[in-house]
Every structure is written in structure tokens, then in C-alpha cells.
A and B are shown apart, each in its own frame.
Chain A
Amino acid sequence: MKIAIVGTGYVGLVTGTCFSETGITVTCVDIDKNKIDALKKGIVPIYEPGLAEMISRNISNDRLFFSTSLKESLLGADIVFIAVGTPPMEDGSADLKYVLDVADEIGECIDKYILIVTKSTVPVGTSEKIRGRISKKLVERNLDISFDMASNPEFLKEGAAINDFMHPDRIVVGVDSPKAKKLMERLYHAFLIQNHPIIFTDIVSSEMTKYAANAMLATRISFMNDIANLCEILGADVDEVKKGIGSDSRIGKAFLNAGCGYGGSCFPKDVKALIKIGKENGCDLELLRSVESVNQNQKQVLFKKVVTKFGKDLSNLRFAIWGLSFKPCTDDMREAPSLILINDLLNAGAEINVYDPIAMEEAKKYLNDKVNYYEDMYKVLSNCDALILVTEWQEFKVPKFTYVEKALKSKIIFDGRNIYDKKQMQDFGYEYYSIGR
């Protein structure tokens, strides 16, 4: 089986590489020539554990190819995936420009039956739009070629993408023809024989599933952040509450961590987009609007704690920040809570030192020289009035506190992810602030 994947970003690259790992011949296509040239040499532009080895292995086995030409890549392909970006526009709706560009291009170059699969997260109804664009091109070309559409949303998480892709909880596939269904079964054969369930449904429901899943996860987070803030006021401990409700099998343990807000390339964008879809169709998704607004507030909660401690004017104060990426194990800085915090601190006149194990280069694109970058998690603390932990990287979980207190001017820690034991921190003599406890 031969497939092409258009858009070699996070999702496209992981998807393509993992399919090639199961024996399928894959060409990853991108318009970014530098990216493709680098990939051909085995240089991977994103940070994802295990990905680089897997890419070079499959390149040398002649199963994984990179190209800037969609037309060539489609030769002999049974399936083409669309995995280009769908960034949010000003009003929150997904920008379909790239997706529809690819659709036009496909319409311009296919010359036999092909199955077109949308993997990008696209608003409900987009697959239908793509079908229309391709049909139009075929009419212009005076060709009578049949093709099918399918929707196959991606649920991988950055930082665990390979494992998520290879061992999914479920694979959701929306189809509307038996032929398309058969092709998708063949494509996912390796997964089926390992008992990873494929949920086949109609295309519209499949598109909806992606948004609903992310929206539900975002809802869990905002729900817990609301509870955390209330716990703080009332003197309860949100970590105890998390244990208590997580043990209810109807609720489940995962995704109940209070913190300083969700970020990243998916939750904020997908929640906003779903709200927009609702609005356009006369349905006010009130619950999701509240999830969104709670998250906005939550991204400022660390800053508010700092102000409560140090006052509104932070000039002459220096803060160290541990963790910049929106979550651990990725260098993704999109919508990261660290950006809002840093911005607020700077506006209040503070000096800022930052350290992140992976995302420093990426962060420079956003922060330029507004902050001081350090390559060492202890050196970043020197002369600082407090440490603020924003991303719960593994290496922050059991730090050498003796080094920490030697470097800091005063023993003050703001923990945005509740990774330290409150009692222990007090025993160590820290002034310790966390979320909801």
C-alpha cells in the first residue's frame, strides 16, 4: 500500500513515520523546502522523543520519502492524507486556507480513484467542502474520476506522540462508502490485529468527535481550576479533592490536575473553534464559553499570587521561571501560560530569568531578548527573589533544594503545577504558594 501525507508538521510527520513503520510506503509532502531538505537528511525539525530514530530507520528501509511535489507523491498512491495546519483566525474559527489549497491541488493532479482523508482538525462539514473543491477542479479538467472522502481525526499528544499513534485508545474514522471503509481497514491493518479498536462512523460525526474530545478535556481542566480556586478560599486541598473524585469510576483519574491554565496548539484553538461553529449554527455553547473564560483567568493566577506577595510594582525584583513550553516533553510554545505570566511580570517592571530543558530556542522566537536565558536550572535562580514553576518537567520534580536555596535571594516558590509536597516545603522553610491548596 502506498500513501501520501500532505503537510509535514507535527501531525503529518508522526503519522507518516508511524505508518511507514507498519510497512506502508509513505511520502510526506510539504511546501516548506528547507524542512523537506532537512528531513531527507534525517534532521528532524521538531522535538519528539523517539521520532528521529524512527525516521532514519524508515528512510533507510526505503519506506519513508519526503518531497515538495504533491503531484509526484500522488503517483500510485491509494490514499492521500491532508495534515496541514488549521490555525485559529481572529474570531476563533479555524483557518481553512491551507486545507482548501491542498484540496485544489489534489483536484488538479489526480488521474485515477483516490481516497482523500482529512487528518487536520477541521470544523464539522469541511470534508464536504473539500469534496466540492475537488469535484470542481475535475469538472474544469473535464475528467470523470471517482474519489472518496474520509475523516480520520488525530488524537496524539505532543511529547508522547509516537506511543499515542502506535497504541491509540481508539481510531475514529468517518466514511460514506464501503470502498473507503475497506481502504481504511487495510491501512490500519497493523493496528486492528493488535486489537486497537477502529470506530467507523459517518464523516460529520467523526469531525465532531475530535472537537468534542478536546472540549471535554478542556472542560475537565477548567472545572478543576474553578474547584481549586474555591478550595484555596475555603481551606480545602484540591489534591485531596482530585483523589476523592478521581476514584469515582464515572469520572476517572486522568486530567484532573489543577494548574495555571491549559495552552498548546490544540485545546485553546479547538475550544474556540467549536464555540464558533455553535454560534454560526444558532447554538450557544455556554458551557464551553465558561471553560474558555476560566482558562483565561487561570493563566493569570500565578501573576496574581506574585502581586499579592510583592505588591503591584515589581521593579527591582528578579524572578526565575522554570519551564516555558505549554506542557512537558515538547518545545511547543503556542498559547503557553508562561508567555502571559512573563508579559505581566515585565509590565510590572520585573527582571526575568528563564530556563526550559527543551523549549529555549522556540521561546526566543516569542520573547526575544526581553528575558535572560540560562542553560542550567540552578544558575537561573541566582539573585532571584522567587522561583516560579510553570511547566512540570520531570527534572523539576525532585530538585536539589540545597542548590535552590543557595541560589535564591529568599526561599520563595510559586508552584503553578502543584508538584511539590506542601508539608515538606514548609518543613524546608520555604514560603510556598501553589494552586488550590
Chain B
Amino acid sequence: MNIAIVGTGYVGLVSGTCFAEMGINVTCIDINKDKINSLKKGIVPIYEPSLEEMVIRNLNAGRLSFSTELVSVLDSVDIVFSAVGTPPDDDGSADLKYVLEVAKTFGKHINKYTILVTKSTVPVGTANLVKEVINKEIKLRGKNISFDVASNPEFLKEGAAINDFMSPDRVIVGVETNKSKELLTKLYRPFLLNNFRVIFTDILSAEMIKYAANSMLATRISFMNDIANLCELLGADVNMVRKGIGADTRIGNKFLYPGCGYGGSCFPKDVKALIRTADNNNYSMEVLKAVEKVNSFQKSILYKKLKSHYKILKGKDIAIWGLAFKPGTDDMREATSLVTIQLLLDAGCNVKVYDPVAMEECKRRIGNVVTYATDIYDAVLDADALIVITEWKQFRLPNWKVIFKSMREAFVIDGRNIYSPGELSKLGFKYSCIGNRNCEI
């Protein structure tokens, strides 16, 4: 089976590579020439564990190729995936410019039955728009070529993308004809052999599922953050509360970690977009609006903790560990680190940052307004406080004695509850975390 994937970003590259790994012939397309040229040489532009070796393996096996031209492969493929970006517009709705461009190219150039599957996260109803665009283009050509559209939202997580794609909880496929269902079943059969569930549904519901899933996950986080803040006020320990409610099988124990807010390229964008879709249809998503508000409040919580400790922040030297919105990626979109850094700078602090992977990305975004440390120990040198924002594994067991000596004030604000308060206080640190004021000693 031959397929093409248009848009070789995070999702496109991972999907394409994984399909190739399963024995399918894949061409990944992107308009970005530099990206395609590097990829042809096996150079992977994003950070994702074990992706590069998989790309190289499949390049060498001849199952994975890269191109800047969709038109050149269109006649030889059965299915085209659209995995281009859908960045949020100013008003929070997803920008469909790229998605519709792909549809246009598709409609202009197909010569036989082909399926266009949207993998990008797109608002409910987009597949219908895509269909219209294609129909219009085919009509303009005076031709009568049959095609189908389908929706196959992607649920991979950056940092664990390969594993998520190769062994997903489920694959959601929205179709409207038996023919497209058959072809997509064939495509996903190698995955089915390993007992993964493919859930076929109608297209609108498939589109909705992606937003609803991310929105529910964001809801779990904001819920726990609200509870954590209340626990702090009342003297309860949110970690115990988490265990207590997570043991309820109706709730489940995953995704209940309080912290300093969610970021990244998906949750904030998808939550905003769903709110927007509803607003456009005169319905107000009350729960999600609250989820959003709680999250933006939570992103400033580390700063507030620092402020309530020092009162006056001007001239303080603050160390930050972790810039990426979560471990295992260099993605800093909507990251709490950016909000925190801005607040610290506005308050007149000197900020020194360290992240094992996202330093370049941070430089690209904010340049030299902060100092970039060489390692975790360099970051805390003469610092008045250490703020931990991303729970990278390498932050978990640092040499606290060295850190204690290096810091001007041994004060740690732990935005991800990764340290044991008892241990730190024994060493003489002041410590503050999320949702447990009793650990603040």
C-alpha cells in the first residue's frame, strides 16, 4: 500500500515513519525545502526519543521517502493524510489555511479514487469544508473523479510519540463510505494484529472526539489545581487526596497531578478552539471556560509563591530548572516557564535558566533577556531561589549539598511536586510545593 503524508511536522513525521515501519510505502511531503533536504539525509529536525534511528532505518529500506511535491506522488497513492499545522488564530479558533490549501492541491490534481484523511486537529465540520473545496476544484477541471474524505485525529504525546503511535489506547477513524472504511481498515490492519482497537464512527463525531479528549484531560488538570490550591489553604495534602480519589475506578489514577499549569501545543489550543466553536454556535462551554481560567491563574502560581516569600523581588537572582512545557520535548509553546520568566523580569529579577533540551528553543523565543546556564549547578549559583518548572528526570536526584552551598538563599519552589519535603528541610532548605502548605518549612 502507498500513502502520502502532507505536512512533515511533529505529527506528520512520526505517523509517516511509523506507517513505514509497518511495511507501508510512505512519502512525507512538506513545503519547507530545508526540512525535506535534511530529512532525506536522515537528519531529524525535532527532538523525539528513538525517532531518528527509525527514520534512517526506513529510509534505507526504501519504504520512507521525502518530497516537497505532493503532485508528483498523487497518482501512485491510495490515501493522502493531511497533517499540516493548525495554529490558533488570535481569537482562539484553529487556522485552517494550510488544511484547505492541501485540499485544494488534492482536488486540482487527483486523477483516480483517493482518500484524503485529515489527521490535523481541526474543528468539528472541517471535513465537510474540505470536501467542498475538493469538489469545487474537480468541477473546475470539468472532471468527474470519485474520492472520499475521512477524519483520523492523532493522540500521540510529544516525548512518547513513537510508543503512542505504535501502541495506542485506540485509533479513531471517522468515515462516511464503506469503501473508505475498507481501505483504512487495511491500512491499520498491522496495528490491529497487536490487538489495538480501531473505532470507526461518523466524521463529525471523530472530529469532536479529539477536542473532547484533550478538553477532558485539561479539565482533570485544572480540577486538581483548584483542589490543590484549596488544600494549601486548609492544610490538607493534595497528594493524599489524589491517591484517595484516583483509587476510585470511576475516576482513575492517571492525569491527576497538580502542578503549575498545562501548556504545550495541544491542550491550550484545543480547549480554546472548542470554546470558540461553541461560541460561534451560540453555546457557552461553561466548564471549559473555567478550566482555561484556572489554568492561566495556575501559571502564575510559582511567581506568587516567590513573591509572598520575598515581598520585594527587585534585584533577586532566580534560577529556573526546566523550560519545555513538559519533559521529553523541546516544545515551549504556552509553557509555564515563559509566563514565569516574564513575571520575574517585570519584577526586576535576574533570571538564569537551564533545560536539558529546550535551551535553543528558548533562545529563539526570548533571546538574551535571561542567562543560560551550562548545567543545573551553574543555574543555582548565588541564586535567591530555585524554581522547578519541568519535571525532567535529571532534576529528580541532584546533589543537594552542592546546591545548598551554591545558593545564596536555599529556597526551592517545586512546581511539579517532585521532591520530598522532609529530605530538603533536613538539609536546611526552605521548600514550597503545590497543594501542601505543611511542607513549607
Query: What string of 1s and 0s marks CB contacts (under 8 Å) between B259-293 and chain A?
Result: 00000000000000010011001110111111101
B287 to A205, Cβ gap below 8 A?
Answer: no
Partner of B202, one of A208, A233, A237: A237
**Contact of A236 with B222 in the complex, beta carbons under 8 Å:** no
Q: Bound complex: CA of A249 vs CA of B293, how far in Å?
A: 26
- When chains A and B are docked, how far (Å) is the Cα of A282 from the Cα of B172? 43
Q: Is the CB of A281 within 8 A of B170?
A: no
B388 within 8 A of A: no
Pick the residue among B125, B248, B289 that contacts A213 (CB under 8 A).
Answer: B248
> Contacting chain B: which of A289-297, A305-313, A359-367?
A289-297
In the complex, the answer to whether B206 meets A249 with C-beta atoms within 8 Å is no
Cβ contacts under 8 Å, B236 to chain A: 124, 202, 204-205, 207-208
Minimum distance in angstroms from A129 CB to a CB of chain B: 13
Judged by DSSP, the binding face of B is helix
Is B109 engaged at the interface, CB distance under 8 Å to the other chain?
no
A209 to B: closest C-beta gap in Å = 3
Point out the residues of chain B lying under 8 angstroms from A235, CB to CB: 125, 204
Residue pair B205, A205 in contact (C-beta under 8 Å): no
B252, A250: Cβ atoms under 8 Å? Answer: yes
* A220 to B250 alpha-carbon distance, docked (Å): 10
Residues of B within 8 A of A283 (CB): 226, 229-230, 233
B169 interface residue (CB < 8 Å to A): yes
Residues of B contacting A285 in the complex (Cβ-Cβ under 8 angstroms): 226, 230
User: B-facing mask of A213-244, CB < 8 A → 1, else 0?
Assistant: 10111011011001101110111110011011
The answer to whether B208 and A236 touch across the interface, beta carbons within 8 angstroms, is: yes
Contact assessment for A244 and B213 in the assembled complex, using a CB-CB cutoff below 8 Å:
yes
| A248 lies within 8 A of B213 (CB) | yes
Interface residues in B188-232 by Cβ distance below 8 A to A read 197, 199, 201-202, 204-209, 212-213, 215-217, 219-220, 222-223, 226-227, 229-231
Residue from the list B213, B244, B251 in contact with A206, Cβ < 8 A: B244
Is B113 interfacial (CB-CB < 8 Å)? Answer: no
A212 at the A/B interface (Cβ < 8 Å)? yes
* Interface residue ranges of B91-130 to A (CB < 8 Å): 124-125
Please name all residues of chain B whose beta carbon is closer than 8 Å to the beta carbon of A226 when the two chains form the complex: 285-288
Residues of A within 8 A of B231 (CB): 205, 208
- The interface residues of chain A lying within 8 Å CB-to-CB of B294 are 286-287
A254 touches B287 (CB 8 A): no
Q: Chain B residues near A169 (CB, 8 Å)?
A: 247-249
Residue in B199, B207, B250 with the greatest tally of chain A CB atoms within 10 Å? B250
B334-351 with Cβ < 8 A to chain A? none
Q: In the assembled complex, how far is the CB of residue A218 from the closest CB belonging to chain B, in whole angstroms?
A: 10
The reply to whether B219 and A219 form a contact with Cβ atoms under 8 Å apart is yes
Contacts A241-B209, A245-B213, A251-B216: A286 and B202 contacting too (C-beta < 8 A)? no
CB–CB B205/A247 < 8 A? no
Would you call B252 and A249 a contact (CB within 8 A)? yes
Closest chain A residue to B239, Cβ basis: A205
A interface residue numbers (CB < 8 A to B): 124-125, 155, 169-170, 172, 197, 199, 201-202, 204-209, 212-213, 215-217, 219-220, 222-223, 226-227, 229-231, 233-237, 240-241, 243-245, 247-252, 254-255, 274, 277-278, 281-283, 285-291, 293-294
Other A-B contacts than A230-B208, A287-B222, 15 sampled, CB-CB below 8 A, are A199-B243, A213-B245, A216-B220, A227-B212, A227-B215, A230-B285, A241-B205, A244-B205, A248-B155, A251-B255, A254-B250, A286-B290, A286-B293, A290-B289, A294-B287
- 7 A-B residue pairs with Cβ-Cβ distance under 8 Å, sorted by A, are A223-B287, A233-B283, A240-B201, A250-B217, A251-B216, A283-B230, A286-B294
